[in-house]
Structure 1
Amino acid sequence: MNPQGPYDPYEVLAAAAAEWDAVEPLLSAQARQALAAALRRLRGTPAGREAAARDAARLLTDAMPDAEGGRLVATAPQAASSAGFRAEDLAALVLDRTRMVGPVLGPVRERLLSVPALSDDVVIRQGGDPYAAGLIRLTGEGGAVRLPRFQFSEDALPWLVLLEVNELLDAGEDPWGVADWWLSDNAWLAAPPASLLGTGRDHELVAVAHALTDGE
């Protein structure tokens, strides 16, 4: 489907991000691969950004049924601006496979990715195990894995209480939510939980985690 008339490709990509749950099932595996390639270029040098945005928008509309592709273009300005999504959110959805996008979750994702973190390689070089069960693993731009630094003691070994709490809070299913819990002020603890690691207050951390999950 080739949309007629001028349209802003960035708005089309933002609208697709806002409606990704409805858009994604309409794309074939081949279309998703081509879209991913265009979105990688979108993240590349500024000189190629405009062409990459046009290619990604065209790939999207061509891969969708005519009615759906036309609706996406027609509603893009209103849908994208009202929902507060950006073209970059579609890149995060497709390339990074994260749902932490949009006006609400996007800033949380950026804040969590800005905290000190270690890569798999660094943890291994320091004698730790970056794949230990219970560790929070966040996906950054381009799919790079980041392990928030607060999870480890000085010798790159994870705090045992952290692993216990992460299991209680199911960090494997919700690493972003659990990372946010560790790094946010906690009314019960009167401090961000991460700041209490190594201070002898392990029992309080476990008790608060139990309090959060006992009603589930």
Structure 2
Amino acid sequence: MNDGGTSDGPGGSTERLLVLIGEHRDTIREALDDEQYALLLARLEALAATDAADDRAVRRASQGVRLALLPLPLDHHVRRALDSVRLVAAPPGPRTVVGARELMVLLTTLSTAPEPAYGTASEEDRMLLGAPALSAEEARVRCGGAPPPELIRLTDPRDGDRYPEFQFGEGGGTPREVVLRVNRLLLADIDPWGAAAWWLGGNTWLGGTPASLLGRLPDHRLVGAATVLVEGD
């Protein structure tokens, strides 16, 4: 089986991604900082603990694992597989949960999960916070009231809540509908940092940074790329 082009049953591509995480666990650990790696382990643990009979919960937990892998360098083997993953058969299912449990056994016997450094921002977080953004009040004005929960809201320890500017139309525009649609797929209301990393990081499937491609690519291409990450074609 290749890294993402085929599936050998329900959730085959997701299971293959779990296998790749196990095979490349050392380089993944080297590529992620302590907080990022702790988040990945937490997402894998959540998937392993999911009720295998609850398809929606399994799909949601699988999405969390994919989002936690986004900080990997674009040329990393697992990151390339993440960009090209396809679920051409059924969505993640019971075998995905079994695979996550087996992977957790492998990872926890080799190392101890680091404690996330919540008191300091990671390099990736600083990059995301450094992108052009609106203050909470500016976002409220653009939205004509309270910003919808689908908008990415990042909390800066110094400047408070920040709303990445790419989410809004040019010239003082309101939230872009395609951004809201993609953010719903990425569960931005639950994991705004993961959603921001998808928009502001490189995407080999799209050939660029999704946020920079707004208005340059058809909306359906952006939605399709997010859908591939979340649940496949």
Q: Which has the higher contact order (CA 8 A, sep 6+)?
A: 2
| Greater Cα radius of gyration, structure 1 or 2 | 1
User: Could you tell me the TM-score, scaled by structure 2's length?
Assistant: 0.46
Greater helix share, structure number? 1
